[in-house]
Amino acid sequence: MQTRRHFIGNVATGLAGSLATGHALGANNRIRVGVIGMGERGVQLTREAIACANTDFVAAADVYSRRLDEAKSLVVGRSESEFKGYADYRALLEDKSIDAVLIATPQHLHAEHFAAAMDAGKHVYQEKAMAFTVEHAKLMRAARERAPRGVVQVGHQACSSGQLADACSYLASGAVGHVTAIHARMFRNTPAGKPQWTRPVYPDMTPDNVAWETFLGNAPARDFDPDRLVNWRLFWDYSGGSVHENMSHQLAFWNKAMGLSIPTAATMTGGIYLWKDGREVPDTMTVSLELPEEILFTWDSGFGNNYLGVTEDVLGTHGTIARGQQIRYVPQRVNRPGGSELMGQTPTIPRAHMQDFLDAIRNGGETACPFELGYRVSVACHMAVESYLQQRTVRWDAVNEEIV
pLDDT, residue 80, reads 63
SS3 assignment for 34-71: EEECCCHHHHHHHHHHHHCCCEEEEEEECCEHHHHHHH
Burial of 37 (0-12, 13-18, 19+ CB in 10 A): buried
- The residue ranges of every structural domain in the chain are 4-158+353-370, 161-207+234-350+381-403
Its sign, for the CA torsion 62, 63, 67, 73, is positive
Q: Is 133 helix (H, G, I), strand (E, B) or coil?
A: coil
* Span 241-286, pLDDT tens digits: 999 999 999 999 999 999 999 999 999 999 999 999 999 999 999 9
| 0.85 exceeded by pTM | yes
Provide the pLDDT for residue 26. Answer: 53
| H-helix or E-strand spanning residue 352 | helix 352-363
The predicted pLDDT at position 345 comes to 95
Low-confidence ranges of the chain (pLDDT < 70): 1-28, 78-81
Residue 28: its pLDDT value, please? 61
pLDDT confidence of residue 24: 57
- Fold type of domain 4-158+353-370: Rossmann fold (3.40.50)
β-strands 394-397, 402-403 pairing: antiparallel
What does the pLDDT read at residue 222? Answer: 97
Which of 298, 299, 326, 329 is CA-nearest to residue 316? Answer: 329
CATH architecture assignment, domain 161-207+234-350+381-403: 2-Layer Sandwich (3.30)
Q: What is the pLDDT of residue 3?
A: 43
Q: By the 8 A CB rule, do 71 and 83 touch?
A: yes
